[in-house]
Structure 1
């Protein structure tokens, strides 16, 4: 990772913005792509990404490796991920703490895991397998969750800390996921972040959520379809003031807005990154 990327914010690379990005070459730090969108041999996704990669750094974010699957990760999927990583040489590769396959069936969702020693051993083995094949360290993202397991043996933050220590992986801290899970389970997001193993964080995600159900007991859903809400910005500001700058992505994956709206979100994150860096420099 270059020092420049620490002080820059990025955005998801979307077909809706293809012409503008290639023609205007906006001043943006980097772009993220979902690995699964580029696992074919060719076609328009690769044609677009190859041109963008010649202009900007990219990160690769996986959504289908099923790193928590009890039946093991699909070897074919991992091989295709390696092909994407080798081809585009991203400065970050990341995946989710989740499972999405069972008996050869892909469920097209990021499903939760019980935080037990057995699960920790399983996920650690899978992270080791992925990192060995890819030949590089990956980041694992904290999930947004909508239920808890009776058999949980440890808090999520302890699970992530142990996973990073045992496997050598890094962590992707999604602040929106923290807010969503905190609201759904009734805990304080600031207390969660106070215990998060921030020493292993290599990237931050910011996004928006939807509020569903009874206004008295709402359900928050991690939808990535709207601006970053005020409470996520507030937690993010507190976090990077404490930690210093880290590569930060604005996730906006559906109801994709016009480029100026997305660019304004990215610029806001980048302004906060630079302010946090100035605080760090003054304190040094």
Structure 2
């Protein structure tokens, strides 16, 4: 029904676009070959954000990353929000569209977070139905991102990788592999990041994310990693990323940095580091 989402997204390095970097990006993109935007920042009818995006889309492939659909929520998807996403994708014609395996709505309220799900048959059916609805509305295959988690549900009936793989089988969607999320979840839940990645179906991955996290302590004094997107990519995450690329080959790779934004040369240097890993694998 749908073409592969990554047909126009190069297996090279990209960054999450922020308006603060607009001029510097155009003057010196360096290792950056594509950009990703958060969809919810571009659902208006005009203004500077859309003007800048139209200009950037003439020079770079664009990936659209949604954060507000609440695909895992119990309530039906917000039809108005989905219609605005469709309008954005119709004129922008992005190389890909992605969303999170998470929920963020309850009884009409929007929660400013991406909350975890129990991996059960009921959850699987609900998420699959929502993804079918998104793909039908947008007329394109979407990517589903693995979450960063801080707890696990006792009622889960399957592992996260198994759940994601079954979602992809049922819906035909592809997957977005966030390596930083894997590390965050592994430390917080005392599991092996390597085992998780070795089991991950890399043939279904259309995009990879790398980002920064911060370390904290829980009430018992154990290390707790927070997926902050406000720091450089940790060496441990780079090591896991190299492991993924060695097994699965080059994939479009994004550097996520959403808060405490650095100057452009710092962000471009992170992209250049990813580009070197990709070039070595190629």
Gaps (5+ residues) in structure 1? 278-284
**Structure-to-structure mapping, 1:94-109, within 5 angstroms:** 94-109=98-113
Say yes or no: does 1:272 pair with 2:277.
Answer: yes
1:216, distance to aligned residue in structure 2 (A): 4.7
Counterpart in the other structure of 1:179 = 183
Say which SS state the counterpart of residue 60 (structure 1) adopts.
strand
Scaled by the length of structure 2, the TM-score of the pair is: 0.95
Cα offsets for 1:194-213 (capped at 9, x unmatched): 11122211110000101112
How far apart are the structure 2 equivalents of 1:234 and 1:62?
Answer: 27
Q: Report the CA distance shift for 1:87/1:4 in structure 2 as closer, same or farther (over 3 A).
A: closer
Matched, 1:238 2:218: no
Q: After superposition, give the CA deviation of every residue in 1:35-64 in whole Å (9 maximum; x if it has no partner).
A: 000011111110111111111111000000
Aligned residues: CA RMSD = 1.4
- The alignment of Structure 1 onto Structure 2 pairs a total of residues equal to 276
Inter-partner Cα distance in structure 1 for 2:276 and 2:29: 20
Match of 2:259 among 254, 259, 268: 254
Per the alignment, residue 282 of structure 1 pairs with none
Q: Does 1:207 align with 2:216?
A: no
Aligned partners of 2:9 and 2:61 also within 8 Å:
no
Query: Which stretch of the first structure deviates more once superposed, 78-87 or 207-216?
Result: 207-216
Change (3 A) 1:189 1:24: closer
CA distance in 1, matches of 2:127, 2:9: 32
Deviations 1:102-144 (A, max 9, x none): 1221111101111000000000000000001100100000000
- Tell me, which stretches of 5 or more residues in structure 2 are unaligned? 1-5
The structure whose RCO (Cα within 8 Å, separation 6+) is larger is 2
- With over 3 angstroms needed to count, the CA separation of the structure-2 counterparts of 1:144 and 1:25, relative to structure 1, is closer
Query: Which runs of structure 2 are paired with 1:1-284 in the superposition (5 Å)?
Result: 1-2=6-7, 5-6=10-11, 8-24=12-28, 26-213=30-217, 216-277=221-282
